[in-house]
Amino acid sequence: MDVTLIVLRVIHIVSGIAWVGAGALVVLYIRPTLFALGPDAEKVVNELFVRRKLPVYFAVVSTLTVLAGALLYWRASGLQWVFVTRPTGLGLTIGAVAGLVAWPIAILALPRAFAGVGEVGAEMKAAGGPPTPELIGRLRAAQARVTR
C-alpha cells in the first residue's frame, strides 16, 4: 500500500470538492443575492471577502487541488506522451487542463470581480440618496465581470 498515493488522492478529492462546492455556492446563491441587494451588497462583500477571507479559502483549496493533482498526474503518467493517447490518460489530461485554467480564476479574477461590486456599492451608500445613472452603470458592469 502506497501511503503517499493515498494521501495525495485524499487531498486532491477533498480540496476539489471544497473548491467546486464553494464555487457553486458563490454562483448559485451569493452572486444572485449580491445583485438583488444592490448598494447594500457592500456589507455582504466586506463580510465575506474582508472579514471572513473568502479569497484566501479559494486560494488554499484550489492550490491544494492543483498541486495534489499535478503530483498524481506525474506519478500516473511519468510524463510520457503515450499516457495521453490512452483513454484514461486523455481523461486525466482534460481534467488537468481544466483545473489549470480554473485555478488562476479562483485566486485572481473572482476576488477582484467581487471587490469591484463592493466598491461601487460603498460609493452608492456614501452618496446617500438615489444612485446616479453613472453609478448604476458601474454597478452593472461590475456585476457583469462577476458573471463572466
Q: What is the pLDDT of residues 26-81, one digit of tens each?
A: 889 988 887 788 777 778 877 887 788 888 898 899 999 999 999 999 998 888 88
Please tell me which residue, 72 or 125, carries the higher pLDDT value: 72
Tell me the pLDDT tens digit for each residue of 113-124: 777 777 777 777
Using the predicted structure, report yes or no on whether residue 96 has a pLDDT greater than 80: yes
Angle at 77 between CA 75 and CA 81, to 5 degrees: 155
The whole-number pLDDT of residue 40 equals 76
Tell me the pLDDT tens digit for each residue of 1-34: 799 999 999 999 999 999 999 989 988 998 888 7
- The predicted model gives 93-113 an average pLDDT of 85
DSSP secondary structure code for residue 86 in this structure:
S
- The predicted model gives 135-148 an average pLDDT of 76
DSSP 27-79: IIIIHHHHHHHGGGHHHHHIIIIIIS-HHHHHHHHHHHHHHHHHHHHHHHHTT
The grid cell for 41 is 451588497
Q: Torsion angle of alpha carbons 35, 40, 41, 45, nearest 10°?
A: 180
